[in-house]
Amino acid sequence: MLKLNDISMVVGNDQGENREIIRGINFEFEAGKVYGITGPNGGGKTSLAKLIMGIYMPSQGRIYLQDKDITPLSISERAQLGIIYAFQQPPRFKGLTVKDLINIARPGIDNLHLRMTLRDVGLCPEDYLDRDVGPGLSGGEMKRIEMAQTLAREAVVSIMDEPEAGVDLWTIQKLIAVIVGRYKKNPRLTTIIITHNENMLHICDEVLVMESGMLVHRGTPEEIWPHIKDEIECKMKEQCSGDVAYEIR
Amino acid sequence: MKLDEIQSNLLKTIADLEGTPEGAVNIRIDGSPVLRHSSPGIEITPKTDKPGFDLTVAPGSRGETVHVPVILTKAGLKDLVYNSFIIGENADVTIIAGCGIHNSSHMNSQHDGIHEFILHPNSKLRYVEKHYGEGRGKGKKILNPTTMVHVAEGASIEMEMVQIAGVDDTVRNTTVHIGSKGHVKMIERLLTHGSQHAESNVEMYIDGVSGSGQVLSRSVAKENSEQIFRAALIGRSDCTGHVECDSIIMGDSKIKSIPQLVAEDARAVLTHEAAIGKIAGEQLIKLMSLGLTEQQAVDTIIEGFLR
């Protein structure tokens, strides 16, 4: 379905030095499968997603979608061919409503499906359809609206960048159920989820671990989770400042 | 009322009018009124000393919509009109105004509308005014509206003033006085392109206790156009006021945005927000990742912003 052939990406910094942030990735994502991509922050997960969407251009290598070389194509052209990327931090638009964005994602969507899509991400259509996708929405609401657009678009390749970030636990469970129902059982679609969430990783058919711009491990969630579990848990301890918690106790 | 195609299109664009509207109406074409009707609740009479009309809404009259559009299709015409809108106590109506100019000549066309609104106690008015110009000639399409608003105790007005496109030069002067428990919400939306120039000056005096005033301006400047927006809120009692001006700047355009707050009473609470910026790259990328081309993404963002 989607083939990455020796993809690398080099970026320059202010001092004029070049750094390779994606390093020689070869991988073929198959139709009918849900892939998880995980790994430490700064490992290149989002950069890889943006390379697939055409937001970044590789400095080397080719990208094929259903055997067509899409490397030179623009974002819009790739979108029209059936790739979608759900942003990690979706931008806000003053004056565009939730309904507008879903209508752009799925031109001509009927009212029933529009409402169902919002319900699938845990938003009440009555409250949200006419809301501005502007500063009045929380980060969690923005993420759910982003997911709603992705669901509505029904692209052949859907890349979701930390769809669970900022979303409450109840909605994550619902979101997982929707991904399983809509994507996992559909033999035509390829789904790529960038995530650190254990529950999310466990619905994936295959999990890839990215580190320093390379794919360092691949396997089933059961194989991969024990290896990455410590790192993710350790990170959490760092974030919640273990020392402070200890002193309070 | 017989209209040619240009006139019909202009009316449709600025006032969403097709055919002859029901109820009270005043349509002015090329400097003279061509259709004028009153209704039981709304009386429209010509002024005797100068061009224009007095539109009087009877006290307690509710729910009516009246259209008062102006169109100019004759080149070289300079139209000046004085209109007064008197809204009776406890009345609640909508007035749809607007001015459309078609000018394909080398001479300028200009309409200067001087509008006065008098809102009696506890009345309510929604006022919508759209400005639009079209035609390929070098002659300028010029619109200079002057608006004066007096809001009595407990009355409220929502004004939506929109410049859609094609107006080469505009100077908009608006002065508002708000009485106790009166409320004014003024929304201005403006698009300039080419080498157009737009200037808007708003002075809103919140005179009465518990009065409130809001000025919300959204504008987009494209190509080489220039915009100046000045909005002053003057709080003269225990009142609240807010100014918000938000602009998208494109091409080689220039925007000057000057919100001003003046408190003449220690109980006045006045706030302002102002922002000018180009369309964010992330916004374009987002819409393109949903299948729009870059141009479609730009158009969608601007259309939403000015809606």
Do residues B271 and B299 touch, judged by C-beta distance below 8 A? Answer: no
Residue A246 has pLDDT above 70, yes or no: no
Could you give all domains of chain A from N- to C-terminal order, each with its CATH number? 2-87+155-248 (3.40.50.300)
Out of A55, A76, A95, the one facing B305 most closely (by C-beta) is A95
Contact call for residues A191 and A30 (beta carbons, < 8 A): no
Please give the pLDDT value at position A236. 57
Nearest to A93 among B283, B288, B294 (CB): B283
A96 and B246 within 8 Å at the Cβ level: the answer is no
Task: Specify the range with the lowest mean pLDDT, choosing from A54-58, A239-243, B122-126.
Answer: A239-243
Residue B32, helix vs strand vs coil: strand
Domain boundary assignment for chain B:
5-281
Q: Which residues of chain A have a CB within 8 Å of the CB of B294?
A: 76
pLDDT at residue B53, as a whole number: 94
Span A44-73, average pLDDT: 96
Question: What digits encode the pLDDT tens for the residues A77-124?
Answer: 999 999 999 999 999 999 999 999 999 999 999 999 999 999 988 899
- How many CB pairs lie under 8 A apart between chains A and B? 58
Is A91–B286 a contact, with Cβ atoms under 8 angstroms apart? yes
SS3 B216: strand
Q: How far away is chain B from the Cα of A54, in angstroms, using its nearest Cα?
A: 9
- Structure confidence at residue B23 (pLDDT): 83
In chain B, what is the straight-line distance between the N-terminal and C-terminal CA atoms, in Å?
Answer: 31
Share of chain B above pLDDT 70, in %: 100
Planar angle of CA B55, B68, B10, nearest 5 degrees: 170
pLDDT tens, residue by residue, B37-57: 999 999 999 999 999 999 999
Q: Three-state SS for B239?
A: coil
The pLDDT, as a whole number, for residue A141 is 92
A248, pLDDT greater than 80: no
What is the pLDDT at residue B32?
87
> How do residues B157-192 score in pLDDT, each as one tens digit?
999 999 988 899 999 999 999 999 999 999 999 999
pLDDT confidence tier of residue A241, bands split at 50, 70 and 90: low
pLDDT at residue number A240: 58
DSSP code at position B74 = S
Residue type (1 letter), A54? G
What is the pLDDT, as a whole number, of residue A245? 46
Q: How far apart are CA A244 and CA A248, in angstroms?
A: 6
Interface of A with B (CB under 8 A): 53, 55, 74-76, 79-80, 84-85, 87, 90-91, 93-97, 100-101, 104-105, 149, 153
At A235, the pLDDT band (50, 70, 90 cuts) reads low
- Which helix (H) or strand (E) segment holds residue B180: the answer is none
pLDDT at A249 (0 to 100): 40
pLDDT the model gives residue A247: 45
Look at residue A230 and give its three-state secondary structure.
Answer: helix
Please tell me whether residue B268 adopts helix, strand or coil conformation.
Answer: coil
Distance CA B74, CA B104 (A): 9
Percent of chain A with pLDDT over 70: 92
Residue A80 Ramachandran class (φ > 0 left, ψ -120 to 50 alpha, else beta): alpha
Instruction: Single out the residue of B70, B41, B34 nearest to residue B56, CA to CA.
Output: B41
